[in-house]
A and B are shown apart, each in its own frame.
Chain A
Amino acid sequence: MGIPKDCTFVMNRGISTPYDCARHLSEWHMDSSALAVIDGTNYWDMHRPLHDNCTLELQTFTSEQPQQVNKAYWRTCSFLLGACALTAFKDSVPVILHSFPGPEIHSGSFVYDIDLPSLPDWQPSKQELMTLAAEYVKICRRNLLIERLEVSEELAKEMFIDNKYKHKQIPDIARNNVNGKVVLYRAGQHVDISKGPMVSSTGQVGRVNIASIHKLEGSINGEESHLYRFQGVSLPRSIMLNHFAYNILVDRAKKLNRARLPTKQSAQEESIPDQETQTLAAQA
């Protein structure tokens, strides 16, 4: 309250995060800030420790230039879709997360490709989609902070030993990273590989729909698989939209999203893991 003024924070190097700075400002800043901008150019996660003196800008979903925030949000939605699929199925149905392509908001839906080996021909009913969305909302309601973890290649391999797809990707990702580390993101119990950045917490996800699940024909590197493409659409909590307009978005998200399919038909020309394409998307 009062006149805005320039201020300087004295924080702990390597410990304090932009989120801590927001806590010094106000509760509103804490809840609504989605992404931080360091020195005007670097997009930084809210829960990633600061390493040096810098200028800090906190961006929300309604900032004037929200492109990067939107991308981070879309990426977070894909990431949480993986978490949601892992918890929603019964123990008798094994779920293996494959990957998600870089965030493309124009495509109209966020995507996660998931392998369900025990379900060769699954046609999800409307009820099942709603149940999935309910699981998603449950995760969002827990208001989990989304943390960034940097781990070594060996540790990452150990963590993803159950997941054959991710396990295979890790050496490649570590090689492409500057310091040979693998960047992971964590929300509650769920950990996934992603280039980042992501938004501050799951509580910032508002309205969400799992629009459709499409079976992807073809095979991955010649191996038989039952890959399904999970598609959803969602809006941040701070953005309100008329239900009619929102239904248009949901209807559009029901069509198959053709963003980088992992199966063989389209993967011949580019068989890069998702994290790399995300870098490309972030640079563009």
Chain B
Amino acid sequence: MNQADVSKLVTKLRIPIPNKHRKLKNQKGPEGRLDKLRKTVTGLFKYERIELNRNRGDEARQYAERLISEAIQHGDCHKATMDAANFWLLEKELIHKLFKVLAPRFADYNTAYTRLINAPRPGYSRVPDKVVLELRGNPYPSLVNKQSNNRLLLHNVLLDAAKHDYRQSKYAEIAKNIPKTEETNKEKLMHKEDSLPVKNLNE
């Protein structure tokens, strides 16, 4: 039992990893698969948002995530990481981008570094599923229109008004109770003052 647990030797990625790799069928076999993935990873680092078939996108995403997480962990003075970057990035200026731009950008992230979004698909067509693969923090406009926090949306306006109304009614209630308690306090004081002279008299 002296063998190290492999899963603890590498950083854990924050994306789901399937048990089996995809073969990405092509004439050159496994070598051709790697060629395809290298092209995709290079494209992703270059353009920050690409649209492609699901299989290839999901497979390339895992390698891109691994590369970024190694770059963050080891920096640019680590031989093995540099070799990996050299292998995966076909355009060599992107190696600088990886260590100087992307590693600092993602250093504080506690989510995955990439995002995979389903792309629309023309109805009744036999084309493969498309996805959009993008690096987080890219300069393009957001693809998902999720605005549940936009206070100007109709339901939020209504809810805010209801909240305001509720609070006002509560404040009014509190304000109503304040003079009463003061009066009761005064009354108590009065009683005490009344009682004091009586005692004095008794003495």
Contacts and interface: CB of A to CB of B under 8 A. Distances in A.
Given A1-B120, A1-B122, A62 B158 contact: no
Interface stretch (A64-72, A143-151, A273-281): A64-72
A252 interface: yes
Nearest to B147: A62
B153 interface: yes
B145 A62 contact: yes
Interface string A106-133: 1110000000000000000000000000
B158 A66 contact: no
Contact of B154 (A107, A239, A245, A248): A239
B157 interface: yes
Given A62-B147, A249-B159, 6 more contacts: A105-B161, A106-B157, A108-B158, A245-B155, A252-B161, A252-B162
Interface in A42-77: 61-62, 64-67, 70, 73
A210 interface: no
Contacts of A239: 153-155
21 contacts: A1-B119, A61-B154, A62-B147, A65-B152, A66-B153, A70-B152, A70-B153, A70-B157, A73-B154, A105-B154, A106-B157, A107-B161, A233-B158, A239-B154, A245-B155, A245-B159, A248-B162, A249-B155, A249-B159, A252-B161, A252-B162
Given A62-B145, A62-B147, A64-B147, A235 B162 contact: no
A105 B152 CA distance: 11
A241 interface: yes
A65 B157 CA distance: 12
Interface in B115-165: 119-120, 122, 145, 147, 150, 152-155, 157-159, 161-162, 165
A236 interface: yes
Contacts of B119: 1
The 4 closest A-B CB pairs, nearest first, are A106-B161, A252-B162, A70-B154, A241-B155
Contacts of A252: 161-162, 165
Interface residues of B, number: 16
A249 B147 CA distance: 20
Interface residues of A, number: 22
Nearest to A106: B161
A275 B33 CA distance: 68
A236 B156 CA distance: 12
A249 B157 contact: no
Contact of B150 (A64, A105, A248): A64
A100 B8 CA distance: 68
Contact of A248 (B145, B153, B157, B159): B159
A106 B161 CA distance: 5
Contacts of A66: 150, 152-154
A106 B152 CA distance: 11
A48 to B, nearest CB: 22
Contacts of B159: 245, 248-249
Contacts of B122: 1
Contacts of B145: 62
Contacts of A1: 119-120, 122
Nearest to B150: A64
Nearest to A104: B161
A105 B158 contact: yes
B128 to A, nearest CB: 14
Contacts of B155: 235, 239, 241, 245, 249
A241 B162 CA distance: 15
Nearest to A207: B155
Contacts of B152: 64-67, 70
Nearest to A109: B158
Nearest to A71: B154
Nearest to B130: A1
A274 B162 CA distance: 25
A252 B165 CA distance: 9
